[in-house]
Homo-oligomer: A and B are copies of this chain.
């Protein structure tokens, strides 16, 4: 922590108090629920009295997601977008009934899964409606069907990552979908946000895995998908993937599963220089020889990782890298998962052969396993940093390979320029975690001392600068965090007037009165 503080503020903390956690503000006095009695009665009749939660704790638990600004607003006692009640239906049929009640009573509905959105996707905005409820899918947690021959499983939308893996493991199967939000996020959320997991190079993005969907909409239930591939018109499943609760409430997904791996091999390598690292990952992606997890850190992220994670051995490691003439170390983590040693070794051999011309220095499997152990720790580390007075947030994008280095530079410059002050210069770390034949994602982590006077404005300005840089480069405003409220200002540039018009037309068709997740996406 001292290391980080000295890096981002340019000086050692005066004393240890300066990096001690602040005391969070006490919870705000909540406004009363605005649900009318007839609406409450109808909702209770749809899902049962005890599944309409109007008490403060329940409402406070569904006020928003886990973006830095969400956390900050809660700490700062800033106004929160609060649902008037939390509804927990038992199954897809009850979800459909809740939508009918809400349509009739003009109530906005915010579908709620793990609540891990970092773009405002689950903020309880009511738009022009009379009230707003959080539709918490927590009880839709069943494994409905498994077809091991076809490698398909039907999962209800409220099932969280660990539960899905536990239930599938009973059949020797896995989803293999492990975003950083894995521990809390749900199947429905994975679909609704086009989630990409850390091992998506091997297991595919979630939108690749979806073969069928069951969706509740105010216009009636919608079932999609009946084959692994089809030419029966446009692929409407890809319209529901990424629809962020705006076009319907996903209640079930039929997803491709795989035999659970019995072998795992993770290694860390160091490449000399960011451009060489990009070239190496591109070579893997285009061979194709990506490991299931393929993740390249830039020089600053590698440096921070060395300082923060393997501190005991850091000095020795730096010396070792110098003897190997590595002046700008970039960490490349590769992880393979397989059902046989032979198959894993064969894939690893192909990858290592591709990498040979990039002169990698192996840190062995210890560095790989270290990454694996800490893979879900990011959010918890962030909580500690926020408590210590740090402005810390992430953002991400993707573009084609030929445009990637320039995009990384311009986003980094935008962030540094927006956040630098006389006393402090932000730390901007970057990695590539998702690579494709034609391009890759860029994921930035930003750390800087929190502005004592305008903490919210500080990040809003930085986010705007970075987003403008992304849009100016013609890259996507988000590779896997979705649009929510936060990316809406940049969606028009990406989809154009025609694309937005099409989305609005689809919205009008399935949700004519606009009750579904107002203020998100479109």
Contacts and interface: CB of A to CB of B under 8 A. Distances in A.
Q: Which of A231, A434, A504 has the most CB of B within 10 A?
A: A231
Interface string A463-503: 00000000000111111111100010001001111110111
Interface stretch (A126-134, A292-300, A355-363, A438-446): A438-446
A233 interface: yes
User: How many copies of this chain does the complex contain?
Assistant: 2
A229 B241 contact: no
Q: Which of A149, A242, A397 has the most CB of B within 10 A?
A: A149
Contact of A219 (B226, B498, B503): B498
Interface in A249-298: 256, 258, 282, 286
A190 B136 CA distance: 42
Nearest to A349: B346
A388 to B, nearest CB: 30
Contact of A439 (B228, B350, B508): B228
A412 interface: no
Given A501-B219, A506-B506, A510-B502, A494 B226 contact: yes
A224 interface: yes
Contact of A238 (B152, B238, B437, B504): B238
Interface residues of A, number: 87
Interface in A148-205: 149-152, 193-196, 205
B498 A504 contact: no
B509 A151 contact: no
Nearest to A493: B226
Contact of A239 (B195, B207, B234): B234
A46 to B, nearest CB: 21
B479 A439 contact: no
A220 interface: yes
Contacts of A152: 400, 438
